[in-house]
Amino acid sequence: MIFDIRFDFERRERIGLIEAIWGEDKSIDQLKRLSKEVLSKKEVVFITRIKIEKAKHLLDIYKQGKFYKDANCLIIGKNLNKVSTTKRVGIVSGGSSDLAVTLEAKLALEIYGVNCKSFIDVGVAGLHRLMSQLDEINTYDVLIVCAGMEGALATVMGGLLPQPIIAVPVSVGYGVSKNGETALNSMLSSCSPGIAVMNIDNGYGAAMAALRIIKSIS
């Protein structure tokens, strides 16, 4: 049975953001049909949570596409309506285990032409690593902070820097980390005021939150 999948082409006009395609639960045929439709409208295809096995089928058709293995993201085409801004986003992560979420956020921002940089392995377990890069991190206008385990990095950043901070709990950690639930609860309970918190592993959502902020202050 073929189900009708409707891409939200009006989203850009409403809120200035294009729709990403969630690849994990869609079939190869659904992804092929969606990609063809999106490209026919001269929009960029951005598929998140897609494994290489599915991506290969699309790359056989669209040679210009690029699969980012570390992020499980596939991009086909270009965004012809990028954001005109000088604002920059810093993406800070506690450890290399947070790389997939961090890179998903970075790719989502780069599609819009937003200047961003990742700061990897600056978690609180080795606080000197964060402090050694804090001056550079402070030059960015919006910060996305990705962390697993107890998710303390977002609170530390919120207590040190004044920028808008978007915290992303990551589903890494032992035992009671519970696939990111502990980090999520910790970030929601943060004593640093004004931190915004995304759902677990939602790097794309964090990027879109950062983009909304940038568009409002540019």
Tell me: the pLDDT tens digits for 142-189?
999 999 998 899 999 999 999 999 999 999 888 888 988 999 999 999
d(Cα 3, Cα 100) in Å, to the nearest integer? Answer: 30
For residue 88, pLDDT beyond 60: yes
Least confident stretch, 92-96, 100-104, 108-112: 92-96
Q: Is the pLDDT of residue 115 over 60?
A: yes
Closest CA to 106 of 210, 13, 187: 210
pLDDT in tens, 195-216: 999 999 999 999 999 999 999 8
Alpha-carbon span 156 to 192, nearest angstrom: 8
pLDDT of residue 85: 92
What pLDDT is recorded for position 8? 77
Say how far apart CA 49 and CA 200 lie, in whole Å. 13
CA 210 to CA 216: how far, in whole Å? 10
Whether residue 1 has pLDDT greater than 50? no
Mean pLDDT, range 67-94, rounded to an integer: 93
The dotted CATH code for 88-217 is 3.40.50.1970
CA–chain centroid gap for 90, Å, is 12
